[in-house]
Structure 1
Amino acid sequence: MDTLLFMQTLHIASAVLALLVFVLRAFTLFIGTQNQQPNPKGRVAFVAVQHLSYTLLVITGVALLVMNQFQVHAWFYAKILLFFVLLSSQIKAYKKDETILLAQRRAGLVLGAIAFVSIIGLIMIKPVFG
C-alpha cells in the first residue's frame, strides 16, 4: 500500500473517531449532569479516546503536510484555525471547574459542533479564496 494513501486513510479514520467521540461525549452534558458538571460515567474512556484521536489527527496531518512538501491551498489555513477553535471549545465545555455553568458548557459544545461541521465543509467543498 502506498504510504501517502495509508496516511490519508489513517487521517480520515482518526477524524471519524474524533467525530464519534465528540457526539458520544456531548451526551454527558445533557444526561446525568451533577452540580454543573458533565456526567462522570465514562469520563476517563472518553478523554483517552478523544486525546488519541486528536493526537493521531495532528501526527498524520503533519506527516501528510511533509509528504506534500508543505504545498497547501488557502482553505488549509482556515481548517487549522477551525481545529484550534474546536479544541478550545472542548476544553471550555469539559473543564473540571465548578464556576463554569452548564449553559456555558453547552455553548462551548455548540461552538465545537459548528467548527467541526465547518471543517468537514471546507474539506468537501475545497473553496478557492482570492
Structure 2
Amino acid sequence: METQLLIKIIHMCGVALGCFAILIRAFTLFKGTQGNLPNPAGRKLFVALQHGSMTLIALTGLVLLYMKNFDVQPWFYAKVVLFLVLLSSLSKAYKKDDNAMLVQRRAGLFIAAVALISIITLVIIKPVFG
C-alpha cells in the first residue's frame, strides 16, 4: 500500500475518533453537571481520547503536508484556521476553572461543532476560489 494513502487513512481514522470524542464528551455538559463544571464521570478517559485524536490529526496532517511538498489549495488555509477555532473553543468549553458559566461552556461546544462541520464540509466540497 502506498505510504501517503496509509497516512491518509490513519488521518481519517483520527478524524472519526475526534468526532466521536467530541460527541461523547458533549454529554458531560448536559447531564450530571456540578455547578458550572462538566460531569466528572469518565473525565480522564474522555480527555485522553480527545487529546489523542487531536494530536493524531495534527501529526498526520503535518506528515501529509510534508509529503505533498507543502503544495496546498487555498481552502486548506481556511481548514487550518477552523481547526485552531475548534481547539480553542473546546479548551474554553472544558476548562477546569469554575469561573466559566455553563452557558459559556455550551456556547464553546456549539462553536466547536460548527467549526468541525465546516472543516468536514470544506474537505468534501473542496471549493475552488478565483
Q: TM-score interval w.r.t. the shorter chain?
A: over 0.9
**How far apart, CA to CA, are the structure 2 residues paired with 1:75 and 1:81?**
10
Q: What's the counterpart of residue 2 of structure 1?
A: 2
Equivalence map 1:87-102=2 (5 Å): 87-102=87-102
Letter in 2 for 1:22: I
C-alpha displacement at 1:85, in angstroms?
0.2
Does 1:64 pair with 2:60? no
Determine helix, strand or coil for the equivalent of 1:35.
Answer: coil
1:106 and 2:106 correspond: yes
Q: Percent identity?
A: 55
**What letter matches 1:105 in structure 2?**
R
Could you list the per-position Cα deviations for residues 79-103 of structure 1 after superposition, in whole angstroms to 9, with x for gaps in the alignment? 0000000000000000011110000
Count of aligned residue pairs for this structure pair: 130
**4+ aligned runs moved over 3 Å, structure 1:** none
Shift of 1:35: 1.1
What does residue 37 of structure 1 align with?
37
Consecutive unaligned residues of structure 2, counting only runs of 5 or more, are none
Q: What is the alpha-carbon distance in structure 1 between the residues aligned to residue 59 and residue 112 of structure 2?
A: 21
Aligned residue identity for 2:22: F
Question: Structure 1 unaligned runs (5+)?
Answer: none
CA–CA distance in 2 between the matches of 1:87 and 1:75?
19
Match of 1:17? 17
SS of structure 2 residue aligned to 1:69: coil
RMSD of aligned alpha carbons: 0.5
The two structures have a TM-score, normalised by structure 1, of 0.99
